[in-house]
Amino acid sequence: MASNSDLGSEEFETFSSTSDVELLKRAWRNEKAAPEILQYEGALVERAKGQIELVEANIEDYVEDGTDPLIVSLYQMDLDRTQFLLRSYLRVRLLKIEKFMFHNLKSEEAESRLSEQEKVFAKRCADDLAKHFEESVLLKLPENYQSVLKQSLISETDDMVPEPHLDTFVVCKSNDFVSLNLYEEGESPETVEMERGDLYFIRYKIVKGAIESGKIDLI
Amino acid sequence: MAGQTDPHISLFSPQEIEFMAEDELVEILPNMKMDPLNFISGDFGRFVPMMATKVPLWLAVALKRRGKCTFRPPSWLSVDNLTQILEAERESPSTFQALPFSYVEIARLLFDHARDDIPDMYMVRSLVEDIRDVRLHKLETNLGSFQGTSAVKISNVSAMEVNLVRPFVRRALEAFYKHDKPEADVDRDARSSSRQPREANNEPRRPLRQR
């Protein structure tokens, strides 16, 4: 028979441990699975960086004072795993910034979720791309069609800016009992209630707030 | 562009799924003495010969490879339990049995690295494979009867299974949702026919097709 401790080990972990690696893994998973860019976990990234540097220094010391190579290699493996998480987290974000660069700069809300370095990156990317489009195509078109952001001058909105598709569906797991409103204003109200550990395919907009508050994780 | 190999940014690669499974704790019996390991991911040990201790799977595999420990296979990974699960999976056409979220990955890592520590290894392996096949088949058939346009509960489906059906289910549900809300489309059509296009429409026209 499967004992409870076997089945629940993962849940136990997310519940009882709040180690930075666990938090980083959660941030990484959420970021990978969410259609739009999420709030930058600045403090967490700084802590993880600090710990990585510390372990790097420790490993150098171990090598110098002749610690058992087995132990050194185990510490190295742990370090590699944390570094992978951090790198992958930052890279997913860069990928999303590139994909939605004009949107990220246009919407104040989206821009506020970027780190300072990411803002600089997004700005430079957008400037370079705009310059490239203008030099290679746009400036050779009739005047009405020269905007990077609009199809033509009669467009009232910036209709050439790719935006994240928020009506998409994601897979989520709840960490807690959550009751969510399924429908938007003007529709008949209907809620979904999730128990801890429940898995759902759900529309991203519905769980957006619960992800930010940490009640729900994307998978 | 940013060096990410996977073009589908919201999907996990099989390696990434395995990476997550490697953090699951397993019980090992060390055969050497070693001080506690204070990792970034947590503290493990200390290690005393024949004293069972819990470590993440990746650490267990690393120790096992160097001949420093034996595994204590998790209790769900036994012929008895797996036989029961397989039967139950076959009996109920629509529900899934409770298994660890990463059961496929955990089992595979153990089969690859700890074959001598699993009693009836060949039997266990073929049971896990059967369970996986039955479940995948069931998942495929169940997709035909998905209900609901905003939230669909999927109980006891594992990491690999979710990841496998995700691209299809996501597109299907997006389409359901879109067609469930016809008002928005009517509204847009009415607007564009009554006036000159105030908003050039460059939304994807055929939501049902793969983009």
pLDDT at A146: 87
CB burial string B56-71: b at 16+ within 10 A, e below = bbbbbbbbbeeebbbb
Q: Do A78 and B40 touch (CB under 8 A)?
A: yes
Confidence of residue A188 (pLDDT cuts 50, 70, 90): low
Domain boundaries of chain A, sorted by first residue: 17-99, 105-162, 166-219
Mutate to test the interface with A, among B1, B5, B10 (most CBs of A within 10 A): B10
- Domains of chain B, with CATH numbers? 10-72 (3.40.5.50), 74-194+204-211 (1.20.58.1020)
The confidence band for B200, taking pLDDT boundaries of 50, 70 and 90, is: very low
Q: Give the rounded percent of residues in chain B with a pLDDT score beyond 90.
A: 59
Question: Is-contact A10 A1, C-beta < 8 A?
Answer: no
Does the pLDDT of residue A212 top 70, yes or no? yes
Q: How far apart are the first and last CA of chain B?
A: 19
State the pLDDT confidence band at A150, using cuts at 50, 70 and 90: confident
Residue in chain B nearest A168 by alpha carbon: B174
Put simply, the answer to whether B10 touches A33 (Cβ < 8 Å) is yes
Within its chain, how far is the Cα of A149 from the centroid?
A: 25
CA distance A11 to A63: 37
Q: Which of A3, A5, A9 to mutate to test the interface with B (most CBs of B within 10 A)?
A: A9
> Angle at the Cα of B153 (from B173 to A9), degrees rounded to 5?
130
CB burial string A49-87: b at 16+ within 10 A, e below:
eebeeebeeebeebeeeeeeeeebebbbebbebbbebbe
Instruction: Give residues 55 to 94 of B whose Cβ lies within 8 Å of A.
Output: 58-59, 62-63, 66, 68, 74-76, 80-81
Chain A CB contacts of B12 under 8 Å are 32
Is residue A205 packed enough to be buried (19+ CB in 10 Å), middle (13-18) or exposed (0-12)? middle
pTM: 0.84
Mean pLDDT of B163-172: 88
CB contact under 8 A, A32 and B9: yes
Q: What is the pLDDT of residue A11?
A: 45
Please give the pLDDT value at position A7. 44
Mean pLDDT lowest for which of A93-97, A144-148, B92-96, B185-189? Answer: B185-189
Q: Is the pLDDT of residue A122 over 90?
A: yes
> Which residues of chain B have a CB within 8 Å of the CB of A92?
4, 9
| Residue in A19, A92, A192 nearest the CB of B4 | A92
Q: Residue B84: is its pLDDT beyond 90?
A: yes
> Which amino acid is located at A143 in the chain?
E
Q: What is the CATH number of domain A17-99?
A: 1.20.58.1030
CATH architecture of the domain with residue range A166-219: 3-Layer(aba) Sandwich (3.40)
Nearest CB to A200; choose among B68, B152, B178: B152
Least confident of A186-200, B1-15, B160-174, B190-204: B190-204
Give the span between the Cα atoms of A170 and B75, in whole angstroms. 32
Give the gap in angstroms from C-alpha A108 to the nearest C-alpha of chain B. Answer: 22
Q: Strand runs (DSSP E) across chain A, as ranges? A: 169-174, 178-181, 191-194, 199-203, 216-218
Q: What is the pLDDT of residue A189?
A: 73
Would the CB atoms of B200 and A77 count as touching at under 8 Å? Answer: no
Q: What is the pLDDT of residue A32?
A: 93
Report pLDDT digits (tens) over B19-33. Answer: 999 999 999 999 999
Interface test with B, best of A1, A5, A6, A160 (most B CBs within 10 A): A6
